[in-house]
Structure 1
Amino acid sequence: MNKILIVDDDQELSSMLADYLGAEGLQVSQATDGAQGVDALLKGEADLVVMDIMMPVMDGLEALREIRRHSSVPVIMLTAKGDDVDRNIGLEIGADDYLSKPFNPRELLARIKAVLRRTDTSSTKPAITIDTLNIDSASRAATINRSKLELTSTEFNLLYLLAENAGLPITKKLLSEKALGRKLKPYERSIDMHMSNLRRKLAAHDAEHLLTTIRGLGYQLTPQRKSH
């Protein structure tokens, strides 16, 4: 049974979501502010965190920063409708996905299931080596020059998808459907934000040249050589 941690100071909404998700076979725990959420995550186990941004004591963005110092657990952020600034900051910090309030609980459930499917290691794919980059699907870990790349769940999925199709451009539409598990909305920049994070992490290992932006289309991993 997958464990979901809901972090939201709206206790009525949080309890309603806990009942709804629980009825769908998920084990749900709750926290009412960011500090409690971080503490609960680090003390216990969670397969995924659903976290609001606007909270007392420690807001969702600060809590996400703290979580990313210790864990790559998938995080879905809840944002105010039309609040593009907080949404983009959340993605920059390392959120895997976001959902704007108000939302239908069925949409949240669909997002949760999509993320959990992407992180399921029961049916693994072959490891891929491209130049000095190694991507291991079984452990969901990536290294470059034998140094670990600290990736979020979504960043790992994007990198693996690009590596599977190395040398070929992949559209943002396909990246969203395969790596995020949902269709890309008009004017949505979530894929661009995730790819910007991925490029920055590759650059820290002098490997940003591997990732190429195909203007007006999407992205491509461009190796010097590829082997399996």
Structure 2
Amino acid sequence: MIGRILNILNKYSLLELISYALYSGYLLSLQWIGTFFFRLKVIFWNIQIGKSSKVTGKFLFFKYPGSKISIGDNFTSISHSSRAMATSLFSPTCIKTLSDSSEILIGNGVGLNGTSITARSRSIKIGDHVMIAANVTIMDSDFHVVFPPQGRLTNPGYEYDANIEIGENVWIGTRCTILKGVSIGKNSVIAAGSIVSKSIPANVVAGGIPAKVIRALETTKKGSNKK
């Protein structure tokens, strides 16, 4: 043990080690505070959650009476720039249901980063082990009719809302937008900055505006990805 400590001291300066230790402690305190207030909000809004949630930064809920929000085990959310790995975050993580028919169902092991998820009247399902990078927006509605234009401010167009389903092990890159009525098949990757307006199959990389399949992911017989 003493030899290991001496090797570390020889490799790094004392100032670097102190700075790293202080910053690590700061990040732990952010996570503790974020998780504490997250759990209070979950109780306040009567939201179902699993065990072992970890939240760093702000997390906003709005749950319409009679709607459903559930979050599985080992959930993580990051919405603080000090904890973001490779990009800035525009806003807190925000989950909203806007009518009694809407629901947001999040599986186990899901990670969000400053994500906005809004279910106005339909269902948004996110499968197990989905990774969602910073500043992604997911919504089941246009919130206004498209045509005629004079109706956009007065006609909410509820009948055009549509379900969203994101399969297990999907990775959604930073600044993507997932629009109403789409499904994303399991294991697929959505490239950064994409707008997903049509469904994406399983085991592919997709990207662009609108997002299209770029290539297939090679898989083993058991279905796991090869590098």
CA radius of gyration, larger in: 2
| Structure 1 length-normalised TM | 0.26
Structure with more of its chain in strand, by fraction: 2
Highest relative contact order (Cα 8 Å, sep 6+), 1 or 2?
1
Structure with more of its chain in helix, by fraction: 1
